[in-house]
Amino acid sequence: MKTGLLLLLTGFLIGSAASATEVTHQQLKGKNGKGHYQTIRITYPMGESGRSDVPRTVMEISGNMARITTVSNRRDADAPLQTTYLDYNAGKEIKTALLRGDESIYTVRSFSLNQGLELLDETEVIAGYTCRKAKTVINTNTMEIWYTTELGMRGSVLPGVAIPDGIVLKVLRNGNPMAVANEVELIDQKTSLEPALEGTELKASAFNYRIQQSRVIAVNVFDHESIYFRDIPKVTQLEADKVTRFAQGSILMRKVKLPEENAGYVIFAELSHYSEGDAYDRTGSVFIIPTGREHSFFDGLLNGKERLPQYYDKEGKAYQGMVVTDDYFPPLELMRFYTSFGVRGYNHIEVADYNWPDSVLFKQEITDYASLLKGEVWVGAWIGNYVHDGHNVTLDIKYYPQSETRAKEIYPLFATVNIMEMSGQAYPENLFRNDSLTVNFKTDKDLKDGYIRYISTGHGGWGGGDEFNPKLNEIFLNGERIISYTPWREDCGSYRERNPASGNFGNGLSSSDLSRSGWCPGTVSYPVYIHVGDLKAGTHQLKVAIPVGDPAANSSSYWCISGVLVGNADDNPPASL
């Protein structure tokens, strides 16, 4: 749905004026413009006037009542059916809606007429009627209202700006048209405009929220599931639609049914988290396991890390399941997040001037991966911890209607986040030391406007570790450096209220305030889009170089990075809602 249509569904329109047949109107109006008609019907189109398939709003007026309805086109047949009633005698606005599943809701609120209206002398002919101009300011927006008194009734698509003896035919917001009438019909019979109040009555704010959310498709993946480190039975086979735990309970997996058709949607991952006992900030990941090749990450989850493809650094150390091969895709990371220092679980800690929230919400757009987020998909969540009572998460994948999207080609390339850490998957601590991560991969199609969606976070040590020291990331494609940048976050102090167990230092700072390599406690780590342009089908090589710090005492530095190649295929046209 276009943004304009969303506005239209709440009573705001985008339209273009077109003159009606003035002679017919004059014949019907009679002496002084007031005839024997009892109902007036006004049409406000959105889009090109004269076309029958464009959405439009219709306002009907009879006596002291007005009814406003939206007539949509076939593409928006699943939109809520909304009607607004204006009772000018009682000063009441009544809104009703019929949602999907035949759910009915309504709301009633009072409104005052003409608050702050400045009446001006300018005139304009709209739909065959002479209109005068009025102006007001609503929420810092300048509203220009054009109204006619030639019809002998009152009515407005904006309840609070009705003129006592006039009908609003045109509304501009900050100079842009919102509602412009193109047809006025005079009907010689009374129309009953009394609302039928059915279903659930809501406050106006709750009513508007239900309307906004009514077309959102929300798929729940995990509902208040615990993530921890315990001695649990080993899983030997997968069960569909059941939450399954791996790696001592630190990994949740579930096969979910996502919409079969998601063209025309923008997609978000939404994860709510709180501590059930762990006081520390931990690395977390939401991911899917691609199963389109002979081997998958499930080989390691079910049969041990040794069953995963091995990547060897220059010293011969093996890293399991982190890099794409001809018959294997690594996990595709949808969202990297970092838990807070003990939200909810440690909210009993009192620090002056801070009010701890009940949980932390992580929400990130993942529309790039739409071609893999359809049908049956294995979705996982992991939090690295060694605590018996660790963390609790709720995960939803949400689809919001949008007019145009393009299904992209997806190639998961690498993921050094060791999500099987609690089952022995190696830390990538030596992976970049005086070396680079080298990934050889193939693309099946020519890609246009390609980019790598890259997430990079540094970890390890205290003051001397890579977590607290900026490090340059360099990426090379087919021998050419395509980017060099330093992942670094200096805004971590903005999230102190999410971190009740974060230690406070003598210098006035808290541990959660400190700047870090690409992440902050209680936040999502943002992906970086690395442009690669057009890429021919065939074999390519990618290298990632990071100057990892040397071990110090019992501390080691390491980097959690993931990269997915995304691009448009020539034979893949845009899809629209």
Residue by residue, pLDDT tens for the chain (577 residues) are 333 333 333 333 333 333 333 333 433 443 334 456 899 999 998 755 445 556 789 999 998 899 999 876 544 556 788 999 999 888 899 999 999 888 999 999 988 766 678 999 999 999 999 999 999 988 899 999 999 999 989 899 877 676 777 999 999 999 999 899 999 999 998 888 989 899 999 999 999 999 989 989 999 999 999 999 999 999 989 998 899 999 999 999 999 999 999 988 999 999 999 999 999 999 999 999 999 999 999 999 999 999 999 999 998 999 999 999 999 999 999 999 999 999 999 999 999 989 999 999 999 999 999 999 999 999 999 999 999 999 999 999 999 998 667 789 999 999 999 999 999 999 998 889 888 999 999 999 999 999 999 999 999 977 889 999 999 999 999 999 999 999 999 999 999 999 999 999 999 999 999 999 999 999 999 999 999 999 999 999 999 999 999 888 888 999 999 999 999 986 654 433 3
pLDDT of residue 47: 55
DSSP 465: S
Residues 257 and 193 in one domain: no
Residues 202 and 262 in one domain: no
Secondary structure (H, E, C), 382-439 = EECCCCCCCEEEEEEEEEEECCEECCCEEEEEEECCCCCHHHCCCCCCCCCCCCEEEE
Which residues on neighbouring strands pair with residue 516, listed in sequence order?
489
Distances from the Cα of 298 to the Cαs of 253, 330, 435, in angstroms? 10, 10, 29
DSSP 325: B
Separation between Cα atoms, residue 485 and residue 517, nearest integer Å: 11
Which residues on neighbouring strands pair with residue 265, listed in sequence order?
401
Residues 171 and 151 in one domain: yes
Residue 37 main-chain phi, psi, to 5 deg? -65, 150
Residue 70 sits in a domain whose CATH number is: 2.50.20
Quote the tokens at residue 489.
């976050």
Do 157 and 173 meet the contact criterion of CB atoms below 8 Å apart? no
Residues 274 and 414 in one domain: yes
Residues 196 and 339 in one domain: no
Q: Quick one: which H or E segment has residue 27?
A: helix 22-29
Residues 443 and 319 in one domain: yes
Residues 324 and 454 in one domain: yes
Do 42 and 186 meet the contact criterion of CB atoms below 8 Å apart? no
Tell me the CB-side half-sphere exposure of residue 40, using CA atoms within 13 A: 27
Question: 108-124 burial, b if ≥16 CB within 10 A, otherwise e?
Answer: beebeeeeebeeeeeee
Residue 508 sits in a domain whose CATH number is: 2.60.120.230
Residues 251 and 335 in one domain: yes
Do 465 and 457 meet the contact criterion of CB atoms below 8 Å apart? no
Which residues on neighbouring strands pair with residue 295, listed in sequence order?
328
pLDDT of residue 76: 56
pLDDT of residue 574: 41
Do 535 and 450 meet the contact criterion of CB atoms below 8 Å apart? yes
> How far, in whole angstroms, is CA 357 from its chain's centroid?
22
Domain boundary among 163, 189, 208: 208
SS3 201: strand
Is residue 321 left, alpha or beta, with left meaning phi > 0 and alpha meaning psi from -120 to 50? left
pLDDT of residue 434: 80
Quote the tokens at residue 300.
């390691």
- 356 closest CA partner among 379, 340, 380: 340
Residues 156 and 283 in one domain: no
Separation between Cα atoms, residue 146 and residue 125, nearest integer Å: 9
Q: How many domains does the chain have?
A: 2
Residues 221 and 141 in one domain: no
Q: Quick one: which H or E segment has residue 303?
A: helix 298-303
Residues 113 and 159 in one domain: yes
Cα 78-81-87 angle, rounded to 5 deg: 165
Domain boundary among 159, 189, 208: 208
Domain boundary among 167, 184, 208: 208
> Position of tokens 């529309």?
367
pLDDT of residue 554: 81
- Domain ranges, residue 247: 216-576
Residues 535 and 492 in one domain: yes
Separation between Cα atoms, residue 532 and residue 245, nearest integer Å: 37
